[in-house]
Structure 1
Amino acid sequence: MATSNASSALSSTFYLTGIPGYEEFHHWISIPFCLLYLVGVMGNCGILHIVRTDPRLHEPMYYFLAMLSLTDVGMSLSPVITLFRVLWSISREIQFNVCVVQMFLIHTFSFTESSVLLAMALDRYVAICHPLRYATIFTPTLIAKIGIAALLRSAIALIPILARLAFFTFCHSHVLSHSYCLHQDMIRLACADTKFNVIYGLILIFVLWGLDSLGILVSYAFILHAVLKIASREGRLKALNTCASHICAVLILYVPMIGLSIVHRFAKHSSPLIHVFMAHIYLMVPPVLNPVIYSVKTEQIRQGLLHLLLHSKISSVVV
């Protein structure tokens, strides 16, 4: 499947990889993958439904949670077709243009989720440090603008680096090391000068993820300063408890994201299983765990999900 002849990007066909060394178990491996994807999509769609239908949740905090769920659904669905095509031995081939579209969706939703987490940190900062101005600052119009800006920022920032791929030629192996397309994975196969893509990719990481994470840290520094001024211990714990779910969501996104970037750039000769493992954690863990965390830590979401599950069971029994 590898080729030694140079081919232009637009005419190139790439070959996706499943779990190296475990090809005969792909059908069995697909079962937990399928369950995880179902849990992630159903959990996030459940949160979206609850926020939309429950008037008590029509508040800024829950609107931002709905944005987080939307990006999680996008991250879940972007690689799902190629992943199961590989695991079910349907096809390993993927055309360059399809690969770039998938790459665009995966990276866009990833960067957008980071921006949404920054917006949620600012939401917690205003709610704790300026509670009297909370409703007047985070109006529905401003929240909608924040969501659109987060999506556009991520999408537009990716255009230069992905558009340049169309001018590459590929004279090495056309075998990608994952079951879906990632930018870092494709540029290592190019026989062109990839310096721009490498440098621009690092700039994107430091500017987008870096600024977002810095903004989150600064927000929590002000939050912690305000919380320490609260006289009662119960008041301090109550204020911090409202941030617990968000802190967990930040760690769930950034830790695998940083790990995957380090593996791709500084551990290129490590075991292929490590690359595959980190890539799947990066895409599967946040969408699966975020609904669990918010349903456990947020009473309104927990009650809504329980009501939704019980209503579904009662409806199925009646039918």
Structure 2
Amino acid sequence: MRLNSERGGYKGFVLNHTFSVILFFLGTLSILMLGACGGGTTGTGDIGGQSIKSVSGTIYDTKGAPFENAELQIQETGNSVTSDNNGKFDFSTNLTENTINLRVSRGDFDAVVQIDGLQDKGSQLVLQLVVNLETEQLSVESIQFIVDEGTEDPEKEDAAQTPPEESQPSNPVKAPEQSVLISGIVLKSDGDAFSGVQVTFVEGDAQSSTNINGEFLLEGSTSERRITLRLKKGIYSGKLVIRDIPAAKNLKVRLKILTSPRIDLNGKPVLNSDDNLSVVAREIEFKKL
């Protein structure tokens, strides 16, 4: 009897211990499953933690004149600013959306443009906008992303330390040159690669041609706060100007350029012109090195 009692106690201990282990395993598995199912969030285009801290740029009309005193509003956030006399604007915001709708309104104009593809591109978004008063259309001429927001702008630092104007020398010092590495892809209006295009970096006195995939690479230096690219193939020629580039000793620029022949009022391609190719920067990424 004593032996049976000891065996029965041992069996009970084993069963109880086994049951406890099973309960612990099931509890742990439930926690893991709940974490996998409910721990994340789903969204409709959010960047997932990384946000755009500022949206700035310039707005012009089709004649190249600044579109001043216009109200610009990001409809997703409600942020709004007014363009200054030079057509410049600057939002301080916290965008997590992948797509935004930007409204521009003034007494003689009111239109909205949608801007997408903002995910994981940078902390600053710089736009060049064009308004057409005749057709009441708003378009994006270029989109620029600045990746490194933490690096101070040398020009801003210099401006903060600059003495009053009357104490400045009669011959101001020219801005220091910065090394610029430009890479990108040139596409036709249908999205196909545009090969054999001669691409010239005007300020940097550098030239290259696109390969079979439409890709090019240029390296030069400039003291200007802009980049001018001249594209030419056969009888077609066009120009792209990127204004207000970041100041940095070494700057890397990545471009996605869309091109299409210009059309006259009769719907025919313009041939006898030095600017008969429409050149638009769909995406621009800046990186300070």
> Is TM (by shorter chain) over 0.5?
no
The higher-RCO structure (CA 8 Å, 6+ apart) is 1
TM-score by length of 2: 0.22
Give the number of the structure whose residues are more often helix, by fraction. 1
Give the number of the structure whose residues are more often strand, by fraction. 2
Instruction: Point out the structure with max Rg over C-alpha.
Output: 2
TM-score by length of 1: 0.21
